[in-house]
Structure 1
Amino acid sequence: MNEYKWKSHIARFLSAQTISLLGSSIVQYAIIWYITLTTSSGKMITLSTLCGFLPQILISLFAGVWIDRYSRKGIVMITDCFIASATLILAVFFLTGHKNIELLLVVLAIRSAGTGIQTPAVNAIIPQIVPQKYLMQVNGFNSTLSSIIMFVSPAISGAILSIATLETTLFIDIFTALVGVSITSTVPVKPLNIEVRMTKSHFTEMKEGAVYLKNHTFMSRLLIFQLLILFLISPSAFLTPLMVSRTFGTEVWRLTMSEMTYSFGMIIGGAIITSWGGFKKKLNTTLVAGGVYGMLMIGLGISPVFIVYLIFNVLIGITSPCYNTPITASIQEKVEQEMQGRIFSFMQIANSCALPLGMIFFGPLADIINIQSLLIISGILVFSISTFVYIRRGFYE
């Protein structure tokens, strides 16, 4: 495939995913905010959070096999249509006066399950379109697009909800999904050689994926490293809004600035990793970013004033794509394409479990120990683990 063709193909594919993701993100915020404002119930907010996490984890156990067995492009398109159909049904119910909160929770669960299938499928498709030497840049660009969506979608969702109803907002996701599917359908994706495996059961292929992960030294150690780091960074991911309100003030604009500065930093970080491409050994980029992230967590913990906190928050946002992008590119590069769906699904399960487990551990501690101390201790551990792995090259080579 010549350079013009693959660039044209990946441009169309990423454009389709960006359009679809924007609509999904706007509606996701709208649903959660509707539940929050309508019920003002901690129980309902907890249930909505569980509906956003658990289905994604559970479906990922099977999604990897489907992604490696069937057309990945077809899976992405079907998943988009499935989520849009659930959103359409919800819109119809609301338009006819059946404004049931339980139905919103069901749709959140369906959307979560769809994400559990779609995210690893998208990651596995990219190396079928993009030459290996360009994987880091393309993944970095994709990360930048996702960061931009994270930055703008809360504002767009809030603006729409302020002038329109939830039902109107729901139709945005339906429209963007249709546009995304239409564009994706035009992207040629080289098929995988899967005929031999079609006679195997799904559970056999799941077991093969687990055995592959266990025997693949690089991947098994990367998974353990990722679990540890994500567990330890959970205070910076979830407890900083509470720290801001306790330390700097309870004004809404402070919480908004905290979220926006992080997302803004991610946009910059995505642009940096896209143009730079990282170190020759991709995981070195992740390890350096991990070490820097740990030091910046310490910075968050010792910030004397809000503006200093915001500066560290932007810098943490910058390191995030530099940490995550090389992991995705390394899996795409080192794992056989016929196995990538299962491996990406295992990684997604790890990612989806580590942060909530971290919050189960650190959340109660935040009522006993001040959050600044938790950030400093966790930051030291993140820095130490990243530095240890970087020094011990044999750990991942």
Structure 2
Amino acid sequence: MNTVINNQKKNWLKNIILFLSSQTISLFGSSLVQYAMMWYITLTTESGVMMTLYIICGFIPTFLLSPVAGVWADRYNRKTLIILADGLIAMATLILAILFLLGFDAIWLLFVMAAVRAFGTGIQMPAVGAILPQIVPKDKLTKVNGANGSIQAVIMFVAPMVSAALLTMTSIEIIFFIDVITAAMAIVTLLAFVKISIHEKAAEKQTTSYLNDFKQGLQYINNHRFLKQFFLFFAVFFVLMVPAAFLTPLQVTRSFGGDVWRLTAIEIAFSIGMMAGGGIIASWGGFQNKIKTLGFASVIMGVCTIALGIVPVFWIYLVFMALFGVAMPIFNTPANVLLQEKVEEDYLGRVFGVMGMISTSMMPLGMLIFGPIADYIKIEWLLLGTGVFIIILAIFLGRNKVLLEAGKHVLEES
């Protein structure tokens, strides 16, 4: 086992390139489907309630599965879990494509598909979050997470353009089939080329039940004060992010026009910003304290959220959407690295599982609040209000002594 791990550490760069390549291939196909389904529902219904149902279907299964999936990520081979999740999503997409070809193209089928994809994502999230420290040396985690953010941004840049082009030239079924093909390619890459040793806990004989493992994960979080406060911050933050994250396509359709190119433009602007932000955080590394970097990015996102509710000109709207994108990897990277560096490897899956529970419960909760309201109150007003509260939350984060201490210690240990 030690020999395998040592060889893996020596070849970490090759391994991480192959691993991220497989995830990029899979993400590209998934993004094509995601945009196609979202735009199909937005342009067909123009309804805040329908968008709320779609978002909830895309989050609830992940929330319900996260406690189990976090335990799985610590008990079993994480690479195998990622492959199984990709396979499940690909199979569901293939079935949906066939149903659409046969003429069964009801909106509720897209809701079901969103739920199935969320189920697969629920398996993947803790496994991917926990597997990176197995491949990457700790002092390289910020650069790798930042680079990964840039790769995801490139996909977000390309995918909406390709998806929009395909929607205008052909049927949505073609996009479903592309997703099946890219998932198969990702699975083959992981199976044939990516070498990742089984982590210590998974290699041992499991002597405790799933429930006990999950309880141990909660106890681990409860025993670390910074984790409790870190998760509380994210719970509030995810609720406040809902209007900017999910209602802006509906806002653009209502306020600027329902053209596909406009919906494409906001996604492209956001992804260009993310590419820049990923490069910035990968080269800069953030402030000496990761919590200060999180607070800085939060302020930028709060200001941009307010701006999205104010600007009357579409090209200026796109500028602030791009700036919002710049802030995202500057926010996400230190958050992920802090967990990857501070949490013991045997608990990483469960901690990321709890993180998944928070994100997948708070955002649907936010949609239950903001989605129906968006049919009665201008989305611009929702953006103004949540933007102000995001800035206030960032100020509290920057003054939290427990989290600041955790961020400082992470830097010194790395």
Taking structure 2 as the reference length, the TM-score comes to: 0.86
Distance in 2 (CA, whole Å) between partners of 1:37 and 1:301 is 21
1:243-280 Cα distance to aligned partner (Å, 9 max, x none): 44555555554444333212221121112112212123
Paired residue for 2:91? 85
Alignment partner for residue 121 of structure 1, among 127, 137, 145? 127
Work out whether residues 294 and 331 of structure 2, in 8 Å CA contact, stay in contact via their aligned partners in 1.
Answer: yes
* 2:410 corresponding residue in structure 1: none
Correspondences of 1:262-273 after superposition (within 5 Å): 262-273=270-281
Question: What's 1:191 paired with?
Answer: 198
Distance 1:279 1:330 in 2: 13
Q: C-alpha displacement at 1:375, in angstroms? A: 2.8
Read off the aligned partner of 2:357 and give its amino acid letter: I
Identify if the C-alpha distance between structure 1 residues 366 and 32 changes in structure 2 by more than 3 Å, giving closer, same or farther: closer
Deviation at 1:377, TM superposition (A): 3.1
2:280 aligned with 1:275, yes or no? no
Kindly tell me: are residues 367 and 78 of structure 1, through their superposed partners in 2, closer, same or farther at Cα, counting changes over 3 Å? Answer: closer
Deviation at 1:35, TM superposition (A): 6.2
Is 1:348 the counterpart of 2:356? The answer is: yes
Residues in 2 aligned to 1:66 and 1:10: alpha-carbon distance in whole angstroms: 22
Q: Distance in 2 between matches of 1:340 and 1:226?
A: 17
Q: Determine if the alignment matches structure 1 residue 260 to structure 2 residue 260.
A: no
Cα contact 2:49–2:371 (8 A) shared by 1: no
- Larger displacement relative to structure 2 (251-260 or 222-231): 251-260
Taking the aligned partners of 2:98 and 2:130, their CA distance within structure 1 comes to: 34
- How is 1:379-390 mapped onto 2 (pairs within 5 angstroms)? 379-390=387-398
Distance 1:37 1:377, change over 3 A: closer
Q: Deviations over 1:183-236 (max 9, x none)?
A: 112212132222556121111111111222222211111110011122122222
Alignment deviations for residues 85-126 of structure 1 (CA, whole Å, 9 cap, x no partner) = 23334444555x363646554443222100111122111111
Q: For 1:21-40, what aligned pairs fall within 5 Å after superposition? A: 21-32=27-38
- The 1:241/1:170 distance shift into structure 2, 3 A limit, reads closer
Cα distance, 1:306–1:171 mapped onto 2, change above 3 Å = closer
Name the counterpart of 1:11: 17
AA in 2 matched with 1:12? L
Could you tell me how far 1:237 is from its partner in structure 2? 2.0
Decide whether the 8 Å contact of 1:290 with 1:386 is kept in 2.
Answer: yes
Whole-Å separation in 1 of the counterparts to 2:254 and 2:110 = 32
Q: Give the conservation status (yes or no) of the 8 Å contact 2:292–2:404.
A: no
Q: CA distance change for structure 1 residues 44 and 15 in 2, over 3 Å: closer, same or farther?
A: same
CA deviation string 1:121-145 (max 9, x = no partner)? 1111111000001111111111111
Distance 2:396 2:99 in 1: 55
Q: Which amino acid aligns with 1:193?
A: E
The 8 Å contact of residues 221 and 396 in structure 1, kept in 2 or not, is answered as no
Is the CA contact 1:123–1:344 (under 8 Å) kept in the aligned structure 2?
yes
Closer/same/farther in 2, CA of residues 374 and 268 from structure 1, 3 Å limit: same
Q: Which moved more, 1:218-227 or 1:23-32?
A: 23-32
Q: Equivalent residue of 1:199, what SS?
A: coil
1:144 and 1:267 in contact (8 A); partners too? yes
Number of the residue aligned with 1:311: 319
Shift of residue 338, structure 1, vs aligned partner: 0.9
The equivalent position to 1:376 in structure 2, one of 384, 403, 407, is 384
Q: 1:231 to 1:74 in 2, by over 3 A?
A: same
Question: 1:162 matched to which residue of 2?
Answer: 168
Alignment of 1:99 with 2:104, yes or no, is: yes
Which one-letter code corresponds to 1:313 in the other structure? M
* C-alpha spacing 1:9/1:240, structure 2 compared with 1 (3 Å): same
Q: Which stretch has the larger CA shift, 112-121 or 10-19?
A: 112-121
Residue number in structure 1 paired with 2:294: 286
**Is 1:217 aligned to 2:225, yes or no?**
yes
- Unaligned segments of structure 1, at least 5 residues: none
2:115 aligned partner: 109
Residue 171 of structure 1 deviates from its aligned partner by: 2.5
Q: Report what 1:142 is aligned to.
A: 148
2:26 alignment partner, one of 14, 17, 20: 20
**2:28–2:159 CA contact under 8 A, matched in 1:** yes
Alpha-carbon separation, structure 2, partners of 1:245 and 1:51: 22
Code of the residue aligned with 1:113 in structure 2: it is: F
Which letter maps to 1:301?
A: G
Q: Once structures 1 and 2 are overlaid, which stretch shifts more, 108-117 or 8-17?
A: 108-117
Q: How many residue pairs are counted as aligned between the two chains?
A: 396
Q: Post-superposition shift, 1:74? A: 0.9
SS of the residue corresponding to residue 19 of structure 1 reads helix
In 2: Cα distance, 1:43 partner to 1:299 partner: 25
Structure 1 CA distance, aligned partners of 2:253 and 2:175?
30
* Aligned-residue identity in percent: 45
Q: CA deviation at 1:367?
A: 5.7
2:366 matched to 1:358?
yes
In the TM superposition, residue 339 of structure 1 has moved relative to its aligned partner by: 0.8
